[in-house]
Structure 1
Amino acid sequence: MTGDTIKNRDDLIAYLDAAMALEHATIPPYLTAYYSIDSTTNSDAAHIIRVVAVEEMLHLTLAANVLNAVGGQPDLTREGFVPRYPARLPDGEDDFFVDLRSFSPAAIDTFCQIERPGKAPAAGSRLVRTDPGKTMLAASPTVDGMHFFSIGEFYAEIIAGLERLAKADPGLFRGDPARQVGPEYFYSGGGTIKPVHDLDTARDALQFIADQGEGSDSGLYDADGELAHYYRFRQLQLGHYYQPGDHSERPSGPPLSVDWDTVFQVKTSARLADYPPDSELRAVAEAFNADYGRFLALLTRAFNGEPPLLQEAVWHMFRLRDGFNRLMRNPLPGSGGLNAAPTFEVPVFEAVTA
């Protein structure tokens, strides 16, 4: 299939909404692993995870720019935008679960699965049947019961659909340019935000997301010469940094030391129901969820005509550290000696948009 599941502008908007939810869905797992690391250890690992989390914000913003360019309206506060963890992602013919867990070999294995290169054997096998009754990220929002072979194939479908619709509809890119977020509102070490106003800029934005590590078959480095996310995480598994010219399985750079034991061991994918009712710890978990909801409301406003708020939202994301620490440094009763962790069961916040 080459964009066949995107037949009109409404289909395209549904796909771009799904792309934003997909990009966001990686942020809670990355932040959970990041904040579970004791601040006195694992500085290399913490830096890798932090940079990837910030770049996921870049991907989220690029997807919002494309959605705005075709006249959609980003809404990160809508019910269901934040998945219930463990969430499911495609892994070829099968799928895997993304948990909220401590920094560990299992967490890095999952991160590599999220970011892995993955190309369907043929265009006709880009879509795979989804198990009935299960929610799949990177599912087709227009073909019931089907999901994509990989995240890379999901984006390939959007790009192909964009190309087909733009050819048939010269007015496809009808969005208000004032809603575009430009590079002046965001800084990331890998890549920059670019406004979207036509097919070329939309295609470039989506291809950049794929090439930076979301499952495309683009090699170790993206078009800007930055190491793709998949290979950044592979460094943690292989114990060395990559250098230009390295084989994908034999990084030859400086050693990368990891201490898997100096980590706050938290309950995996904790839920509010795991917290004792009326306890102080439950109140902290609920306060964290509300604070995360405010973060999503800030992003929604930033993507709907108030782009300067993006900088405040990124700052807010890392201000969540206090909530992470108040949970992760305390035992969770009844969990077999594990500590508490955020649940990301986010209340619905109305974002006041421009």
Structure 2
Amino acid sequence: MNYADHVKRLTLAEKRLVKHINDHWTREQALAELKSHLQVAIEVELATIPIYLFTYYSINRTPTGFPDTSLSQFADRAGAAIMSVAVEEMLHMSLSSNVLFSLGQMPQMYLHSPGPYPTNLPGHTKLGPDAKPLALPLSKLSVEQLWHFLEIEYPAASDAPPEGGAWKTIGQIYSYVRCIICSVHIKDEDFHQGETLRQIQPTNYSPIILIRFIPNTVLINIKHHRRKTPLPMRRLI
């Protein structure tokens, strides 16, 4: 498949996997693996969303003294940052779903979220970056919960191999998907099997909706005084 020059170049590990796929896989195997691992990516993103949202809703973003005290400002910024990550996870899930749907397969979400939390992530190796069993909880904001966020977002090493299973970082599974797409078996026309209008559209992405539909000013109550104040975008997320 042809891909644009501005896309990040394949690493040596990715090139080796692409060559292996080209030499040893059939087209049918490549398509099946691509669809299967896009579904895994969807389930990974789906599993992370409740973790971020649970922590977000544990934060009072407008405590006593808002917005004048440093504590209230910190709470507001912390809440905004965590919600922005949750929205990004929704975007990643949507993009993976769109690609899978374009291949002619309906993304599956119902009954595909994790069972009880704490949970590992689908396809992740049993151990986290600290060599302890990965068990991501639903929990209020704390130093421990921030560490669990880091476990989710832990960056891959520059030479990390693509992994279809027993992966250590989310980047590795997307790298695996990328290698399949870059193989000779996947054609541009493969991504025209799903009806475009049934895919998630750019206007469904929250920041765009906010910019388009939320007025520039709103009435908010600060220190029991009502005044017309521009609403910063960070307060909308």
Residue 84 (structure 2) aligned to one of 42, 51, 62: 51
* Correspondent of 1:86 among 103, 118, 123: 118
Helix, strand or coil for the counterpart of 1:119? coil
Contact 1:34 1:103 in 2 (8 A): yes
Summarize the Cα distance change of 1:43–1:160 in structure 2 as closer, same or farther, 3 Å threshold.
same
Aligned letter for 1:28? P
Does residue 35 of the first structure (1) align with residue 53 of the second (2)?
A: no
Measured at CA, do residues 158 and 92 of structure 1 come closer, stay the same or move farther in structure 2, by a change above 3 Å?
Answer: farther
The corresponding residue for 2:104 is: 71
Structure 2 counterpart of 1:156: 175
Superposed counterparts of 1:243-258, under 5 Å:
none
CA shift digits 1:240-293 (9 cap, x unpaired): xxxxxxxxxxxxxxxxxxxxxxxxxxxxxxxxxxxxxxxxxxxxxxxxxxxxxx
Is the 1:120–1:149 contact (alpha carbons within 8 Å) kept by the matching residues of 2?
no
Select the structure that is richer in helix.
2
Measured in 2, the distance between the counterparts of 1:180 and 1:122 equals 32
Q: Deviations over 1:28-65 (max 9, x none)?
A: 11111111123414111111111111121111111111
Cα offset for 1:111? 0.6
Alignment partner, residue 155 of structure 2: 117
SS for the counterpart of 2:182 is helix
List structure 1 runs of 4+ shifted beyond 3 angstroms: 3-7, 89-95, 120-123
Structure 2 equivalent of residue 168 of structure 1: 185
Counterparts of 1:66 and 1:60 in 2: how far apart (Å)? 10
Q: Give the TM-score normalised by the residue count of structure 2.
A: 0.62
**1:134-153 → structure 2 map (5 Å cutoff):** 140=164, 146-153=165-172
SS in 2 for 1:98: coil
Equivalent residue number for residue 44 of structure 2: 22
| Percentage of identical aligned residues | 29
Looking at structure 1, the residues matched to 186 and 87 of structure 2 have their Cα atoms a distance apart, in angstroms, of 35
Query: What is the CA-CA distance between 1:122 and the residue it aligns to?
Result: 5.1
Q: Is contact 2:180-2:186 (8 Å) kept?
A: no
C-alpha contact 1:118 1:153 (8 A) present in aligned 2: yes
Asked if 2 retains the 8 angstrom alpha-carbon contact of 1:2 and 1:160, the reply is yes
Q: CA RMSD in A?
A: 2.6
Distance 1:93 1:101, change over 3 A: closer
**In 1: Cα distance, 2:186 partner to 2:82 partner:** 41
Residue 220 of structure 2 aligns with which residue?
none
Deviation at 1:151, TM superposition (A): 0.8
Contact map agreement 2:120 2:135 (CA 8 A) in 1: yes
Partner of 2:68: none
The aligned runs of 1:1-354 (5 Å cut-off) are: 2=17, 7-39=29-61, 40=63, 41=72, 42-77=75-110, 79-89=111-121, 90=124, 91=128, 94=131, 96-119=134-157, 121=159, 123=161, 126-127=162-163, 140=164, 146-164=165-183, 167-170=184-187, 171-173=189-191, 174-188=193-207
**Structure 2 residues not aligned, in runs of 5+:** 1-15, 64-71, 209-236
SS at match of 1:46: helix
Q: 1:308 matched to which residue of 2? A: none
1:271 corresponds in structure 2 to none
Rg comparison, structure with higher value: 2
TM-score normalized by structure 1?
0.43
- Write the distance in 2 (CA, Å) between the matches of 1:169 and 1:113: 32
Change (3 A) 1:115 1:175: same
Cα displacement (A) at 1:185: 2.3
Q: What secondary structure, in the 3-state scheme, does the structure 1 residue paired with 2:166 have?
A: strand
In the TM superposition, residue 93 of structure 1 has moved relative to its aligned partner by 9.2
CA distance in 2, matches of 1:19, 1:122: 18
Change (3 A) 1:28 1:8: same
Structure 1, 111-120 or 9-18: larger mean CA deviation? 111-120
Deviation at 1:176, TM superposition (A): 2.0
